[in-house]
Amino acid sequence: MRPVAAGVFKALLLVFASMGAWYSGYLLAELIPDMPLSSAVYNIRSLGERPVLKAPAPKRQKCDHWTPCPPNTYAYRLLSGGGRDKYAKICFDDELLIGEKTGNVGRGINIAVVDYVTGKVTGAQYFDMYEGDNSGPMTKFIQSAPPKSLLLMVTHDDGSSRLQAQAKDTIEALGSKEIKNMRFRSSWVFLGAKGFELPSGIPREKINHSDNSKNRYSGWPAEIQIEGCISRALS
């Protein structure tokens, strides 16, 4: 092929190649929707990646139980205080009856009274057992609870120093087996019933004594808790 003809042929090839590249770019621009270049690059890279499957968040249960209570039952959770600053909590049927957020928790024995028939709280109060003469008023508070009442009790800090024998007898009559074993700063939780019997199988009471060799906090044992479900149709 002559040099002139070869040059013309190369020029024609360059023109056709340029036109082909332009047309391919035009078609690509029409087929791909407008998006930032970085997004386009990310989408291209992600084509070969496996999709990430996210499990749905677990449904929250009443009173923060791990598993739901059966139908026609009340959920409850009693948590004692821990140390000086971790306050006690009483939750019943998903309502916080006593706790830091409700502003009605304090040193001593914290008590919530619930009408078993309606599930509604009828009284909530704490009684300082370290200072003051509060054992007598607490006894009257417990005795004034109407029949068919649930009494939920938790300690914060110390609940034993000024706890008198009459108060212990009154709480023991509600089913407590540990109230007379209370010591200085013992962590204690208890679920009592007035005017009816609770099932024997449900968690009702727990105690943890202060022991300087085992205490979680300086001078205080670890907090303790019980939780469970109470049928709404007890006799």
DSSP character string of 98-128: ESTTTT---SEEEEEEEETTT--EEEEEEE-
Give me the helices (H) in the chain, please.
3-31, 37-46, 135-143, 165-173
Q: What is the dihedral of CA 104, 207, 69, 76, to 10 degrees?
A: -20
Q: What is the pLDDT of residue 162?
A: 97
Question: pLDDT by residue (tens digit) across 44-61?
Answer: 555 556 666 666 666 779
pLDDT value, residue 222: 92
Structure-block tokens of residue 39: 């997004």
Considering the chain, what is the average pLDDT of its residues?
85
Token look-up 């022991």 returns: 211
When pLDDT is averaged across residues 79-106 and rounded to a whole number, the result is: 95
How sure is the predictor about 38, in pLDDT bands with cuts at 50, 70 and 90? Answer: low
Ranked by mean pLDDT, the top range of 3-12, 170-179, 218-227 is 170-179
Bridge partners (DSSP) of residue 227 are: 77
Strand order through the sheet with 108-115: 121-127, 108-115, 149-156, 187-194, 205-208
